[in-house]
């Protein structure tokens, strides 16, 4: 889980080699979405990672709970694709200083083209009868099934990584703050036969960024405004222009106003004790693969 891009410097972005392997990597990562949530277990800061997957064998879900200061994995649950036919269930785990229970109900869930459910579902993480993470719209059913006591969890959605596919335009959705508006993102770049292509990014069909002379600016960063807040956009399209035709470009949308902060998948680095609460905001990482 430690392959988020590392972004630093004011003039560009360097990304981890997550696109190595060409077509094989594209096939392996297809229909995989990973989300990070920050929450607390009895006052102790933790990060919960959910990885939604879909392949020929079915749909799967992996949940990992990590201690923020130390980066140690406290517990992990995997619902294998071939077991995902059991769309409703629970599992209890012994963790440090308490018991973790995970409940899920995807029996009536509606899915889009990706592996994430869109509605009619819940996934709940309970620590000593306290609701620390609740996803989905079936909140009443979740509380009734788990026996957890309100108030609801104060978990924050802090990062998301997904893979998108297209020939010229790549689409994704983003919610840059808790309880904020969901936005439609479109990344457009036609590299077929063009000596000097142009990169364009739109939010809710409105163009917010354009990079001309992309052959010279294949890596870089720029600040845009979304909902009145600054969002730093990093891009690396080297593979599209000069690398393997089956390699991916990488884009990061980061609400942190300090763009030089290092970002990686290591939650111990992201949420060390020296970091102020919520300093890094939300990050969306998109690996954009070209469909040939």
pLDDT tens sequence across 164-199: 988 889 999 888 876 678 899 999 998 776 677 899
Q: Considering the entire predicted model, what is its pTM?
A: 0.78
Output b/e per residue, 256-289; b: 16+ Cβ within 10 A: beebebebebbbbebbeeeeeeeebbbbbbbbbb
User: Among 92-101, 141-150, 222-231, which is the least confidently predicted range?
Assistant: 92-101
What pLDDT does 103 receive?
Answer: 92
């Amino acid at each position: 889980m430690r392959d988020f891009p590392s972004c630093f410097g004011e003039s560009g972005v360097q990304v981890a080699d997550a696109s190595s392997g060409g077509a094989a990597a594209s096939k392996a990562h297809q229909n995989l979405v990973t989300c990070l949530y920050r929450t607390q277990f009895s006052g102790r800061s933790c990060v919960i990672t959910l990885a939604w997957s879909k392949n020929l064998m079915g749909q799967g879900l992996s949940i990992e709970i990590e201690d923020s200061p130390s980066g140690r994995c406290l517990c992990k649950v995997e619902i294998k694709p071939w077991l995902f036919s059991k769309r409703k269930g629970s599992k209890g785990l012994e963790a440090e200083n308490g018991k973790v229970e995970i409940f899920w109900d995807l029996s009536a869930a509606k899915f889009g083209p990706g592996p994430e459910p869109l509605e009619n579902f819940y996934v709940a993480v309970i620590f000593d009868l306290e609701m620390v993470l609740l996803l989905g719209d079936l909140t009443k059913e979740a509380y009734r099934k788990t026996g957890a006591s309100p108030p609801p969890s104060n978990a924050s959605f802090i990062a998301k990584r997904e893979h998108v596919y297209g020939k010229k335009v790549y689409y994704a959705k983003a919610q840059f703050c808790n309880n904020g508006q969901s936005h439609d993102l479109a990344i457009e770049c036609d590299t077929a036969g063009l000596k000097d292509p142009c990169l364009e990014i739109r939010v809710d069909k409105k163009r917010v960024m354009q990079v001309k002379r992309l052959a010279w600016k294949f890596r870089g960063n720029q600040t845009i405004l979304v909902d009145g807040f600054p969002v730093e956009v990093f891009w690396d399209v080297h593979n599209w222009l000069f690398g393997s035709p089956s390699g991916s470009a990488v884009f990061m949308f980061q609400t942190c106003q300090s763009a030089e902060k290092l970002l990686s998948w290591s939650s111990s680095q992201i949420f060390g004790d020296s970091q102020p609460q919520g300093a890094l905001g939300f990050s969306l990482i998109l690996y954009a693969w070209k469909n040939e």
